Chains A and B, each alone.
Chain A
Amino acid sequence: MRRHRYGLSQALLEAVMVLVTVVFAAPLYLLLVFAVRHRGDLETSAWAFPTHFDLSNFSTAWTSASLGPALLNSTLVTVVSGALVIGIGSMAAYYLARSKTRLSYGLYLLFLGGLIVPFQLGLVPLYQGMRDLNLLGTPLSLIIFYLGNLMPFTVFLYAGFLRALPPSYEEAARIDGASHLQAYVFVAFPLLRPVTGTVLILNAIGTWNDFFTPMLYTGGTKSQTLPVAIYAFVGQYSAQWELVFAGLLIAILPILIVYFLLQRSIIQGFASGVKG
């Protein structure tokens, strides 16, 4: 089919696809127009592009949901845990992929087990550990949580990539007198760039949007992340939808902007990441 030139059947297919996509995009469109619509603008339909704009909802939502601090907390947690996971996760995968002992294979399987056993099983003990260490309500508790929980996936992707990468480059560097760490940092790690991109994208989007654990660890404190702040905010203003929608829009705007800027790599990351 794909060899044929653009004909009637292609035009028909295109029309159907566009229609379906419009339906899928509609809720996001509603979110956008509803959030900027003037509250008195009742003569037009909720779906119509607004004639009177009102941006005061944004400032109200921004302050009453404390979205500023939440944005900072989310950024802090995502950036720090993302960087640490890549640093120590790729090094662990390097060890596991390059050392051929039975113990290292066993440890690799231990990491993979984390992909299969859901973290919910350890939910209560981990929560109590965090509580006993006085870490609840701090961004550090979430950074530690993600450091452990993103590890299986990160190690899995890096180790898969490293196994297919011949060790000759690092070995050449070693022969030239580089230490293991130097050979890794300056020779091996730069070669891992494609997988680093995938890991970075998947981990960052997952962390940024995660709700369950941040709610348990930081709910109601000044360390709450964006989804937690939104949860509290909607609970409080559930009847005032214009206000709620303004808050929701602020919450997803950063990630949508990043998405539209980097959409090609993000989509590729999602499509390839799961295949390993």
Chain B
Amino acid sequence: MSDLPHPKVAMQSTRILKKRRVAGVPWYFLAPALLAYILVVVYPIVAGGSYAFTDWNGLNPVKTFVGLENFRRLLQDDQALSSLKNTVLITLSVTLVQNTLGLLLALGANSTIRTRFLLRTVLFAPAVISSLVAAYLWQYLYDPNVEGGINALLTDVGLKSLRQDWLGNPQLALFAITGTVVWQYTGYSMVIFLAGLQGVPVELYEAAELDGAGAWQSFWNVTRPMIAPAITVNLMLSVIGGFKLFDQILAMTGGGPGYATSTLSLLMYKQAFVFSRFGYSTATALVLAIIIAGVSLLQLKLLRSQELEG
């Protein structure tokens, strides 16, 4: 961007004519985008936020204001409470596993190994396919009774005792879904870490080595601060993605067994489009939105403070 040539002549004449010629890009540059954005995003969000305080069922044209009633009910609803717990649990587990694996793979790929470009291409591939397809593929692998599934593979290698009903066991199902998400997006995390790693000047490692730093010290004191923006971006993406997780859950378990894998996104969908409780559904959406907005703002703030330091 900064390496573009500066045509001197144009710059000088610009100064003279700036006021008359350049002042104000016309409003019609902005109007179509602003109109689309307000109609499709802003207005529905404001309206949705207000429905959260009504008992609207979608049919009755009268929306009665019920104050915080929907939120009070949310706090007493077993399904809502399990959904909240599951949403937090799956977000934390995906974030932790995906980023740890992604970072390790990025460190491995940021080396002189010969297959590094091929490996990067293959590892990233799952991230471009539909999450619904990934979910069905893993539903097959988790199926306890199919040939070539995880249980069959465990039997083949003599680990029969580890066989499980992966998606049918309420203790395991949520983590089985975590596995699917981690499989699909670890390559994505890796690519972002890799971009960060490639920006670290080699001289810094040389200097650290001269100062007698070991591999761990050089990682902690050189790599980690240098890739801080990549860490923040990755955490933000996986946290927000985790909170919004929907496709995989609808496809693999539908929230079951019981409410064992129900999340806030799934609950919100079911309340609105299965049970027609629109007021209650938008209250759930509002809780989800506040959590996501809070986490995003916090992380953006962290990102900015790191950028200032760097």
Contacts and interface: CB of A to CB of B under 8 A. Distances in A.
Interface string A232-276: 001000000100110010011001100110010011001110110
B17 A175 contact: yes
A24 B136 contact: no
Contacts of A95: 25, 27, 29-30
B162 interface: no
A14 B141 contact: no
Interface in A194-228: 205, 208-209, 211-212, 216, 226-227
B48 A122 contact: yes
The number of chain B residues touching the other chain, given as a range, is 35 or more
B259 to A, nearest CB: 19
Contacts of A175: 10, 13-14, 17, 21
Contacts of B186: 24
B239 interface: no
A248 B133 contact: yes
Nearest to B33: A92
A120 B265 contact: yes
A151 B146 contact: no
B229 to A, nearest CB: 7
A65 to B, nearest CB: 12
Contact of A27 (B25, B36, B137): B137
Interface residues of A, number: 104
A123 interface: yes
A151 B128 contact: no
Given A47-B148, A121-B48, A231-B132, A164 B121 contact: no
A91 B128 contact: no
Nearest to B138: A27
A58 interface: no
B4 interface: yes
B272 interface: yes
A120 B288 contact: yes
A147 interface: yes
Interface of B: 1-2, 4, 6-7, 10-11, 13-14, 17-18, 21-22, 24-27, 29-30, 32-34, 36-37, 39-49, 51, 58, 105, 108-116, 119-133, 136-138, 140-141, 146-148, 152, 183, 186-188, 191-192, 194-195, 202, 205-206, 215, 229, 233, 237, 243-244, 246-247, 251, 265, 268-269, 272-273, 278, 281-282, 285-286, 288-289, 292-293, 296-297, 300
The 7 A-B residue pairs whose C-beta atoms are closest, nearest first, are: A148-B40, A46-B148, A122-B44, A92-B33, A172-B10, A125-B47, A126-B44
19 contacts: A5-B112, A21-B119, A30-B148, A31-B137, A94-B25, A107-B30, A107-B34, A116-B296, A118-B289, A122-B47, A148-B40, A151-B36, A152-B41, A168-B14, A230-B130, A244-B136, A256-B125, A270-B192, A271-B192
